[in-house]
Chains A and B, each alone.
Chain A
Amino acid sequence: MSDDLGFFFLLISNGLLIGLMYSLIALGFVLVYKATDAINFAQGEFVMIAGFVAAGSLMVWGAPLWLAVLVAIASLVLFGFVLERLMLRKLIGRPVIAVVMATIGLASILRGVGPFTIFSGSKPLPLPIRDEPFVLGPLFIPPIQVLGAGVSLAFLAGFGWFFLKSRKGIAMRAVADNQQVAMAMGIDVERYFGVAWAMTGIVSALGGILWGNLLGVDVNLALVGFKVFPVVILGGLDSIPGAILGGLIVGIVENIAAGYIDPYVGGGTKDFAPYVLMILALMVRPYGMFGKRIIERV
């Protein structure tokens, strides 16, 4: 195999693995949007806070890894529940912009509160996996990315099953479809809003640990959240397969951009290439590739 082709496959493979880790975070966004129609601009900050809790338990309080993971998941689930009850439930039925502004505000608060209460500066989040990449022909695959992709796939599949097959998952989609009719069927709608935010908490906790290991934990970890927008716009705001596909596309696009365009312009294309694609996608398919179309009968 020529070096050029090898380089191409390297970019693609890294793009796919990183892409799945984007999908995991985007899943958090999709879960909330699907069930409650709320757009969560604080998704990145959820991930950041999870990173802070995990790194804090591990490095500051000296907890073992399993405990740190458990603490991160438990606190984010609790956080999701409480947040829904205290803030978002009050905003049900208000204009979309109210929820958008509230979550933007929340994002800023979290960026302040995280470092303030847990630790300031930057801390690593070591996981007991090896650092040297696996080498497969031309491919160099970092183990953390394999772990990340594996966890993402497992959760995406798990939630996919939940929504398609389980009684609670079907009820949750019913709530997302039409709240009043869901109530008429005896479904306790408000409880499902809480459940959706709690599920986002689980996903964000895992995202925080994986991304925290990759990037280190500080306030900038929240920037990962910005990648959620091209992912969900490409895939569809409320679609789990869409989150997977969107994540893969964003991962590949940014790696290709970094590999082929960066050498000519001196770097940085990785950060905006997905957004170019997002804007193009909005012009062609505003509901994403798998997004729910508004069904209109004539």
Chain B
Amino acid sequence: MTSAAPRPFLAVSNIEVIYDHVILVLRGVSLAVAEGGIVALLGANGAGKSTTLKAISGLLRTERGEVTKGSIELHGKAIHRQDPSAVVKHGVVQVMEGRHVFEHLTVEENLLTGAYTRRNGQATRNDLDLVYHYFPRLTERRGYKAGYVSGGEQQMVAIGRALMARPTLMLLDEPSMGLAPKLVAEIYEIVARLNREEGVAVLLAEQNATMALQVAQHGYVMENGRIVLDGDAKTISQNEDIKEFYLGLTGVGQRKSYRDVKHYRRRKRWLS
């Protein structure tokens, strides 16, 4: 593994994940996140990005999945056999794909559930203000049922809610999914600020590689349940294959239609 990370506080080593005792989804995935770093996990649909995040957060087990080999360590302590609630108490919170808010709770109640594991009334109040500071739009929506606010606002609720747990590591799954480019940029800017100002490390699973590589320091590319490439964000974004598959650019820098890309031959070279 490359050692761009100064002090990896999350270390995933060689994990294998099996669903329903038979379906092998991840094989030998290793990655590391440095304290206060942003790491991008890139790859197409079904590559295993979400599964990797769920393996870390422990949510895998709610979907009948299991880490059968390897280990996931946080500050050197194994967390891959713990319940999701124990993982949250260790400061690792997942923001699930698809903007899962509690639809029938108000925006503010949604945020409060994020502080569930903390039990400190005054600190919770302060953090609520902090979330409204980062997401001013939510202030005016605080009394609305979360199911009725816009998609971008729901994504803000989901991220703000995770922030309420005062995490040291946030696992962000496809924050750009289904949002207008302008909103995606807004959300990414806030994520970068949270990282800079609050010191929250982020592991970011994205299909939108352009966006993800702009904020991340390090990137991994997944395909078919394996990591096929890793390096610092700049190197990755210069990689010819990445440009072609994920950034939609050819060598000369023009946009290229996906139809013209010979997926089969290029992918085969990676996996050999």
Contacts and interface: CB of A to CB of B under 8 A. Distances in A.
Contact of B116 (A171, A176, A180, A292): A171
Contact of B102 (A177, A183, A188): A177
Interface in A153-198: 167, 170-171, 173-174, 176-188
Interface in B98-124: 100-105, 109-110, 112-114, 116-117, 119
B57 A184 contact: yes
B162 to A, nearest CB: 8
Contacts of A167: 112, 116, 119
Q: Which size bracket describes the interface of B in this complex?
A: 20 to 34
Nearest to B57: A184
A187 B96 contact: no
Given A174-B113, A177-B104, A178-B102, A183 B84 contact: yes
Contacts of B62: 179-180, 183
Most buried by B among A174, A185, A188, A297: A185
A186 B59 CA distance: 10
A183 B59 contact: yes
B116 A177 contact: no
A295 interface: yes
Interface residues of A, number: 21
A170 B105 contact: yes
A188 B110 CA distance: 16
Given A186-B165, A295-B148, A170 B112 contact: yes
B147 A170 contact: no
A173 B109 contact: yes
Interface stretch (B26-34, B87-95, B179-187, B190-198): B87-95
B49 interface: no
Contacts of B83: 188
B116 A186 contact: yes
Interface string A259-298: 0000000000000000000000000000000001001010
A173 B103 contact: no
A185 B104 contact: no
A183 B101 CA distance: 13
A181 B87 CA distance: 14
A295 B100 CA distance: 13
B165 A297 contact: no
B145 A295 contact: yes
A181 B105 contact: no
Contacts of A184: 57, 59, 84, 88, 93-94, 96, 100
A183 B102 CA distance: 12
B113 A185 contact: yes
Nearest to B94: A184
B103 A185 contact: no
Nearest to B92: A186
B59 A173 contact: no
The A interface, classified by DSSP as helix, strand, loop or mixed, is helix
Interface in A109-146: none
A295 B88 contact: no
B97 to A, nearest CB: 11
A183 B96 CA distance: 11
Contact of A186 (B88, B103, B110, B148): B88
Contacts of A178: 100, 102-103
B85 interface: yes
Most buried by B among A180, A184, A188, A292: A184
Contacts of A173: 102, 104-105, 109
A174 B148 CA distance: 16
B113 A182 contact: yes
B114 A185 contact: yes
Contacts of A185: 88, 93, 113-114, 116-117, 161, 165
Contacts of A170: 105, 109, 112-113
Contacts of A177: 102-105
Nearest to B95: A184
A176 B94 CA distance: 19
Contacts of A176: 104
25 contacts: A167-B112, A167-B116, A167-B119, A170-B112, A171-B113, A171-B116, A173-B102, A173-B109, A174-B113, A177-B103, A177-B105, A178-B102, A180-B62, A181-B102, A183-B84, A184-B59, A185-B114, A185-B116, A185-B117, A186-B89, A186-B117, A187-B116, A292-B104, A295-B103, A295-B145
Given A174-B105, A185-B114, A187-B113, 7 more contacts: A177-B103, A177-B105, A180-B96, A183-B59, A184-B59, A186-B93, A295-B147
Interface of B: 57, 59, 62, 83-85, 87-89, 93-94, 96, 100-105, 109-110, 112-114, 116-117, 119, 145, 147-148, 151, 161, 165
A-B pairs, top 8 by smallest CB distance, nearest first, are: A186-B88, A295-B147, A186-B117, A177-B102, A186-B85, A181-B100, A183-B84, A174-B113
